[in-house]
Amino acid sequence: MFYLLYIAVGFLCGYFMIHWMPPVTPFDFTYFITELIFNPLRTFLAMICFFIGFLANAVVIRTVIEGVILCLQRKQVRWKEWFICCGGMGSFYWLFQWETRLAALFFIFSLIYGMISVDLDRSRQYNRNL
């Protein structure tokens, strides 16, 4: 059930981050910087949503990567959480529909952090969520 929460938090944070950042489609550097400076609350909230969202999505991506690697090694995979996480990756489709560049940046940060945090040694007894 925690993975559904991570998927929902990652999607909502991505949505808010995209809508609170200045538009980047016809990119004008002066307008972009001016909007960031003159709207500090929106900028701060967008950065917080970006940070929380990419951490939540990184947990989901890590679970997908671990499941694939464990399946290839013919080890036990938690199929239920793996399928939930694979389905949750579809949330990036909607983020890419709204703003491609920001969603790509969001996805790349999540992917890199998710790959860094992969742990294939399941004998450790600490909390693996973050």
Instruction: Indicate whether 30 belongs to any domain.
Output: yes
On whether the CB atoms of residues 111 and 61 are closer than 8 A, the answer is yes
Instruction: Indicate whether 123 belongs to any domain.
Output: no
Q: Count structural domains, the chain.
A: 1
Instruction: Indicate whether 124 belongs to any domain.
Output: no
> By residue range, what is the domain housing residue 9?
2-116
Instruction: Indicate whether 29 belongs to any domain.
Output: yes
Lowest mean pLDDT across 6-10, 41-45, 72-76, 96-100: 72-76
Mean pLDDT, rounded, for 52-59 = 91
Instruction: Indicate whether 128 belongs to any domain.
Output: no
Instruction: Indicate whether 28 belongs to any domain.
Output: yes
Residue with tokens 């969202």: 53
Whether residue 124 is predicted with pLDDT greater than 60 in this model: the reply is no
Instruction: Indicate whether 9 belongs to any domain.
Output: yes
